[in-house]
Amino acid sequence: MISIKITNAYILTMNETFQIIEHGCICIENNIITYIGDELAVSHLEAHTVIDAQGNLVMPGLINGHTHAAMSIYKGMADDMPLKEWLEHHIFPTESEFCTKENVETGARLGIMEMIMSGTTCFADMYYFTPTIAEVCKQMGIRALLGQAVLDFKAPDFDTPVQAIEATKELINSTVQNSCVQIIPAPHSPYTCNAGILQQCRKLANEYNVPLHIHVSETIVEYNTSLATHNLTPVQYLNSLGMFDGKTIAAHCVYISDEDRNILAEKRVHVVNNPQSNMKLVSGISPVPLLLQANIPVCLGTDSSVSNNSLDMFQEMKVAALIHKLNQSDASVLPARDIVYMCTRGAAKVLGIDNKVGSIEVGKQADIILVNINQPHLVPLYSIYSHIVYAMQGHDVDTVIINGVIVYLQKQFQLVDPLETMIDAQMIANAIMLRKSEREQQQ
């Protein structure tokens, strides 16, 4: 008996030939896709669970290449201000008081729920208390690359960067991980970590052959300060330290000179574009079409819920498609299929897991979503790629399978109850608002 059989499936495989199969069937045994094709050929096989996909699109789960999931508890707390003010006057002070292990657990739960229900099956994170987040990921069944944040100054979980690096090393070796959850070093940025700390993170990542997750050249302030301090752009500075000599996931890359682009291509740096966050904080527009032309793998990310304020990758896809067209004054830039690739197989490549996930293919691990396309806003159907990017929304997702486990079925969470987490999140927000008004009264 096999584990899951998905029947009557309209399958977007996202394989090498971008094959689409109408009226197909998918078989999953344990966590692996073992069959894709005509249903009759496997009619003799019984399955523990049969999912009738009639009226749904069956596609690979979406991958969010850069986020800070636990910051979901702060969404809507500080809007409509530039990054420096946002970070220094709101995010860092609130985190210094409220970023406890318990609150991170609630925030991670909330963020992961939002991701799952909008079709995200894997995310690359950067935050504090990664063992706690790893446990939440395991309980909720989501796949993740969890970056343990490292900063020069005292962080919520570690007093010094050296402690954070030592702990990351222990975590990479520990059982807080499983086949779906991997912990990696995440030095926050070239401007919040000194050269020695950056290099220690690089050394650790290389020692275990895991990627390093870092913010790179997000704002013009960062770019100009780097030029003034080091006489090098952020990319050139990081390269001069040997930071790209190993697998690197570089979030943002908004300000990229021609020479920077050559460095990123030559060093095979992988880039995550976060268009909505870059728009909301007015950071700028990453030259994504030029990066892609230089054969630099680029995927999309939401960044945190505070700078977005959503973790819905369908929204991110639409904005990415539109902003780069507008920025290049060329409507043919980043066509819909390229955008879908950037959130599925292309994103798996960026995170270094394309041998496992990113497409619906025999032998791959089953990260699959069903999206209800039998709705007025998705009818009629000319091009499924067009619908995914320009018309679909996260709440069209009906069912989510991650690593062969049904975590969300017909819009119901299977492993967790969202109500308790929502109550906890509102209580944290109430405490933050109270503290904020106390601070304002004291001033």
List residues near Zn ion by CB under 5 A. 303
Task: Give the residue from 375, 401, 183, 351 showing the smallest Cα distance to 251.
Answer: 351
Output the smallest distance, CB 238 to Zn ion, in A.
Answer: 16
Residue 187 CB, nearest approach to Zn ion (Å): 12
Residue type, 155: A
Contacts of 46 (CB under 8 A, 6+ apart): 1, 2
Residue 303 or 312 with smaller CB distance to Zn ion: 303
Minimum CB separation from Zn ion for residue 86, in Å?
12
Query: Nearest approach, Cβ of 134 to Zn ion (angstroms)?
Result: 19
Of the two residues 132 and 304, which places its CB atom closer to Zn ion in the complex? 304
Work out how close the CB of 302 gets to Zn ion at its nearest, in angstroms, rounded to a whole number: 9
Q: Which is nearer to Zn ion, 148 or 403 (CB)?
A: 148
Tokens at residue 439, please?
A: 């601070």
Residues counted in the chain: 443
Which tokens in the block code for residue 143?
Answer: 């796949």
Question: In this complex, which beta carbon is closest to Zn ion, that of residue 56 or of residue 309?
Answer: 309
CA distance 342 to 440: 44
Tell me how crowded residue 208 is: count the other CB atoms within 10 A of its CB. 14
C-alpha distances (whole Å) from 205 to each of 63, 172, 378 are 22, 10, 44
Residue closer to Zn ion, measured from CB, 114 or 303: 303
Q: Which is nearer to Zn ion, 222 or 303 (CB)?
A: 303
Q: What SS3 class is residue 325?
A: helix
CB closer to Zn ion, 75 vs 345 = 75
CA distance 407 to 124: 19
In whole angstroms, how close is the CB of 159 to Zn ion at the nearest point? 23
380 preceded by a cis bond (ω within 30 of 0): yes
d(CA 298, CA 295): 9
**Cβ proximity to Zn ion, 151 vs 360, nearer residue:** 151
State how far Cα 319 lies from the chain centre: 16
Residue type, 279: M
Least distance from Zn ion to the Cβ atom of residue 421, Å: 22
Chain residue at closest Cβ approach to Zn ion: 303
DSSP code at position 440: H
Cβ 152 to Zn ion, closest distance in Å?
A: 17
Nearer to Zn ion, 260 or 303 (CB): 303
Least distance (Å) between residue 251 CB and Zn ion: 5
The string of DSSP codes covering 336-405 is HHHHHHHTTHHHHHHHT-TTTSSS--TTSB--EEEEE--SGGG-S-S-HHHIIIII--GGGEEEEEETTE
CA 391/CA 8 separation, integer angstroms? 23
